Amino acid sequence: MQRLNFTLDEETIRLLDQLAQKYYHGNKSLTVRSALESLAVHAGHEGWSVGGYTGVVADERTQCHTCGEMHDKGNVLYRPVFQRGDGPRVLTHLPVEIWLECASCVERQVVA
């Protein structure tokens, strides 16, 4: 994370306030991020693809994002690492939900 400092005119500040209040519970950082992601998509830039996985130990009973199978606390699951890119499974937005996959789903997707 990095703090950016830039100047906006009154009208833009009002618009940012309105959008933040209306859609993001007043969170302006999230509003700017969504605006940029939306712009990138409309400008024909790439989306987000899974570049790899990192193993995590489930700290509670967790459902696999892909197959829906439940896994007990203490099992190793895999969290996708997103990177800019394109491809058949590209996402236009980074997921906001918790996304963990079981080993067999990861293996299937790496092969596919």
Find, among 100, 99, 95, 80, the residue nearest to 37 by Cα: 95
**Per-residue x/- mask for Zn ion, residues 62 to 101, rule CB under 5 A?**
--x-xx----------------------------------
Give the binding-site size for Zn ion (rule: CB under 5 A): 5
Could you tell me which stretch among 8-16, 28-36, 40-48, 61-69 binds Zn ion (CB under 5 A)? 61-69
CB 68, min distance to Zn ion, A: 7
31: left (phi over 0), alpha (psi -120 to 50) or beta: alpha
Whether 40 and 81 have beta carbons less than 8 Å apart is answered as no
Nearer residue to Zn ion within complex by CB, 50 or 105: 105
Could you tell me which stretch among 11-19, 54-62, 82-90, 102-110 binds Zn ion (CB under 5 A)? 102-110
Chain residues in the site for Zn ion (CB under 5 A): 64, 66-67, 102, 105
